[in-house]
Structure 1
Amino acid sequence: MSKTVEFYFDLGSPATYLAYTQLPKICEQTDSQLLYIPILLGGVFKATGNASPATVPAKGHYMFQDLDRFAKRYGVPLKFNPHFPINTLMLMRAVTAMQLRHPERFLAFIDCLFKALWVDGRSLDEPATVGAVLTQNNFDPNEVLALTADEEVKAALKTNTEKAVQRGVFGAPSMFVNNQLFFGQDRLDFVLEALS
């Protein structure tokens, strides 16, 4: 039976972006399956009483220095987004919609949005910017926007988020291997160990 990593993610987290760049390689290396589970980080924070490390100025400053170190180690681009923190409700509904309605384009969709946020530093709080990014990447922004209003899509994101909290998720990225929780992109060595 194939091993699985359940990857609970929200686009608005730079640490999640870094985990996203590394998990496919880890899964390929260990012949494991990567399951992407979109959640709303704001909903997780509200339910658990947690908050972004960026809300503590000294911790936030350190966090971005540390993430930069990891990006260099991984050999991936990372740029601090000047618009951080981003309200990701609409984005994560769009991600959920693509996973449900267009699974064949799901990875290309999240890839272009992660890149827009954490490589290009785009303001994905602004619908016009989101529309431009989607158009540049051959997605129809009107179709995507319409999907974010779909009741089934809204319910799916809400359910994912609630189930994540029930499983003990308090932030992103969170990964499960055999029901064991690993939190943070700096715990990928433990994910690899659990899969090996």
Structure 2
Amino acid sequence: MSKTLEFFFDLGSPATYLAYTQLPKICAQTDSRLIYIPILLGGVFKATGNASPATIPAKGRYMFQDLERYARRYGVPLKFNPHFPINTLMLMRAVTGMQLRHPEHFQAFIDCLFHAFWVEGRSLDDLATVASVLTRNGFDPDEVLALTGDEQVKAALKDNTDKAVQRGVFGAPSMFVGDELFFGQDRLEFVLEALG
């Protein structure tokens, strides 16, 4: 029986973007099932007392240099987003809403948003920019925006975030194979071993 990899993610994390580019390959290689679990990273930080490495200038500069090294190693594009960090509440509600209401379009939805955020460097905390990105990718911005106000969607994102914290998540990307937590896109070798 194949194993399951739970991927707790927030679009606003560049390390999460890099993990997202690699996890489907890892799961295909190990005949594992990838489960995407949207969380609100700001909520995780608040609950755990953690903060983005970018809040420490020297660490932030190093982090982005290191992420660029990994992007080259993985052979994927990565552009530092000049609008980083942004409040991702609206985006992650939209992601959760698409997963709940339109699962058949979920992958294409996160694909276009990750690309806009970490390849194009778009300002995804601006409604007009988000609407433009969604329209260009075949999504109706009004329908997506309506999802962000859906009480069930709001509750699901909060529940995902609360459960992540209860399981020991303190940042993103966080991945679980069974009860074993792996944090960071630089731990994918361990994820591969755990799934192998």
TM-score range, shorter chain: over 0.9
- Measured after TM superposition, the shift of residue 4 of structure 1 is 0.5
1:16-68 CA deviation, whole Å, 9 max, x = no partner? 00000000000000000000000000000000000000000000000000000
Matched, 1:152 2:145: no
Q: 2:134 aligns to what?
A: 134
Match for 1:107: what amino acid?
Q
Q: Percent identity?
A: 84
Which residue in the other structure is 2:115 paired with?
115
The SS at the match of 1:157 is helix
Which 5+ residue runs of structure 2 have no aligned equivalent?
none
| 2:20 alignment counterpart | 20
1:81 corresponding residue in structure 2 = 81
Is the aligned partner of 1:9 residue 2:9?
yes
Secondary structure of the 1:63 match is helix
Counterpart residue number, 2:187: 187
Scaled by the length of structure 2, the TM-score of the pair is 1.00
Distance 1:135 1:86 in 2: 21
CA–CA distance in structure 2, aligned partners of residues 54 and 124 of structure 1: 18
- Number of the residue aligned with 2:50: 50
C-alpha deviations, 1:48-105, integer Å up to 9, x for none? 0000000000000000000000000000000000000011000000000000000000
Deviation at 1:157, TM superposition (A): 0.1
Q: Count residues in correspondence.
A: 196
Helix, strand or coil at the partner of 1:7: strand
Letter of the structure 2 residue corresponding to residue 46 of structure 1: K
Normalised TM-score (structure 1): 1.00
Which letter maps to 1:135?
A: T
SS at match of 1:66: helix
The answer as to 2:34 corresponding to 1:38 is no
Mapping of residues 89-104 of structure 1, within 5 Å: 89-104=89-104
Aligned residue in 2 for 1:70:
70
**Could you tell me how far apart the structure 2 residues matched to 1:2 and 1:136 are?**
37
